[in-house]
Structure 1
Amino acid sequence: PKKGRSLLREGSDMRFAFIARHRGIWPVAWLCSALDVSRSGFHAWLNRSPSVRSRHDEILVSRIDRSFKSSDRTYGARRVWHDVLAEGLSCGLHRIERLMRENGLRVRPRRRGLPKDTRERAAVSENLLDRAFEASAPNQKWIADFTYIWTAEGWLYVAAVVDLFSRRVVGWAMKAEMTAQLVTDALIMAIWRRGKPDSLLHHSDQG
């Protein structure tokens, strides 16, 4: 029974520590409800002096965070653990794994260079816009652009259509592959959202 109470208290302490770290992002009441703990229990825990283990965890987290971010977020728990041990701090690998998980330190792969553009280029159309980036009403002039964003899952390709009158994005699409359909999907969304506009100039870097 004594061991059971100790494990239960440790589990509550972990949840309270999570709430304390994230209460600046979400309301305490919402966090307590989501983690199935009472607000009074959290505030009582908050006012207690931290245990020796909690203080040690705080020191470890600062060292872990420094090692992890200096690697451009590519170090896993084992390499971070070696850095922590090299600084003279004693802890186990599983403890490093737990602290990284609790603090949202997830490894992302290193960038392997910019994505290669292997598309065949069609003939460039005449530039009818001619840098006249002003519009007196909605749905007169749209411009389209295409870019890519590095994520933890790899490259994400994004196409967008902007109305020059409001300077707002009126259509967009995202895919993990660089295809002509991606750009078409963004245009179709813009047409659908704007109700099939008439007399529209749609411009991209290909004219």
Structure 2
Amino acid sequence: MKKSNQYTRQVTARLLYRSVQEYKEKHPKASIAGILAILEKSPSGYYKYLRSKPSKTKVRREKTKKAIVKIYNDSHQLYGSPKIAEILHKHGIQGCQKYVYSIMKEANIKPKYLKHKIKTTISKGNDRKLHNLLKRQFNPKDPDSVWCTDITYIWTEEGFVYLTSVMDLYSRKIVGWVMTRNMEAAKVLECIEIAKRRRGIKKPLVIHSDQG
């Protein structure tokens, strides 16, 4: 029981000394003697704490923290703890997602979520010429009778790319896709042609989109 109480006092003292050290780093003009007097701690104990070698756990945590901050900044501050933990593992640095998250929280860093504003629809009056042939009939009876198309953007380390896809509404299978740097209509047509060749389309079918 005595050993347990002694260990608790030692841990509490180290936590207090660490708080004092962090406060001093943020406020260089603060009086260490004054702070220790308020906490009822002796200066000798504090300076002994400063001279003590960091534990292996602390050294490992600091090393991991530096690696996390580098990966985080290299990703333009987009990566969260799951992705960073994965990259750390590839570099031989052990640390589960929860461990990485705790360090990121301690360092007050969190991923930024981009709101990529982009004009996705340029109708030029075509919306008045086109008709809704599908009429919410989302379960066609035959394959390759109704296709749906869509375009989405994906963030990569080299910037945004656009993924155009064609889905057979009967099987919900992606039958064609193209990845490009822009949203040119020619690329959408190219994607449809790829799907037609793959499926051997000879007869007319309905192609439904959001008119983007």
TM-score normalised per structure 1? 0.50
Aligned to 1:73: 75
Give the corresponding residue for 1:188.
193
Matched, 1:123 2:123: no
Partner AA of 1:144 in structure 2: T
Report the equivalent of 2:181: 176
CA contact (8 A) 1:161 1:170 kept: yes
How many Å separate the matches in 2 of 1:118 and 1:200?
23
Instruction: Give yes or no for contact 1:158–1:175 (8 Å, CA) kept in 2.
Output: yes
Unaligned runs of 5+ in 2: 1-55, 78-87, 94-111
Matched residue SS, 1:128: coil
1:205 corresponding residue in structure 2: 210
Q: Distance in 2 between matches of 1:114 and 1:72?
A: 23
- Give deviations 1:90-143, integer Å, cap 9, x for gaps: xxxxxxxxx9x9469xxxx99583334484534121000011001222111111
**Contact kept? 1:74, 1:110, Cα under 8 Å:** no
1:177 Cα deviation from its structure 2 partner? 1.3
Residue type of the partner of 2:152? T
Which structure 1 segments of 5+ residues have no match?
A: 1-53, 76-98
Summarize the alignment of residues 97-112 of structure 1 with structure 2, pairs less than 5 Å apart: 102=91, 111=114
Q: Over aligned residue pairs, what C-alpha RMSD do you find?
A: 3.9
Equivalent residues of 1:163, 1:170 under 8 A apart? yes
Q: Which amino acid aligns with 1:177?
A: N
Aligned to 1:162: 167
What amino acid sits opposite 1:188 in the alignment?
E
Pairing 1:113–2:116 present = yes
CA distance, structure 1, for counterparts of residue 147 and residue 169 of structure 2: 6
CA apart distance, 1:174: 0.8
In the aligned structure 2, how far is the partner of 1:123 from the partner of 1:71?
A: 44
In structure 1, C-alpha distance between the alignment counterparts of 2:125 and 2:161, rounded to whole Å: 23
The amino acid that maps onto 1:176 is: R
Call closer, same or farther: CA 1:122–1:133 in 2, change over 3 Å: same
CA contact (8 A) 1:144 1:159 kept: yes
Instruction: Give the length in aligned residue pairs.
Output: 129
Paired with 2:125 and 2:65, the residues of 1 have a C-alpha distance of 53
For 1:64, the equivalent position in structure 2 comes to: 66
The correspondence of residues 86-97 of structure 1 with structure 2, limited to 5 A, is: none
For 2:202 and 2:64, locate their aligned partners in 1 and report how far apart those are by CA, in whole Å. 55
Q: Residues 167 and 63 from structure 1, CA distance in 2 versus in 1: closer, same or farther, beyond 3 angstroms?
A: same
Do the aligned residues in 1 keep the contact of 2:153 with 2:161 (CA within 8 Å)? Answer: yes
The partner residue of 2:153 within 130, 134, 148 is 148
Q: Say whether the 8 Å CA contact 1:135–1:165 is kept in structure 2.
A: yes
Distance in 2 (CA, whole Å) between partners of 1:155 and 1:196 is: 32
The Cα of 1:178 is off from its aligned counterpart by 1.6
Q: Secondary structure, in 3 states, of the residue corresponding to 1:206? A: coil
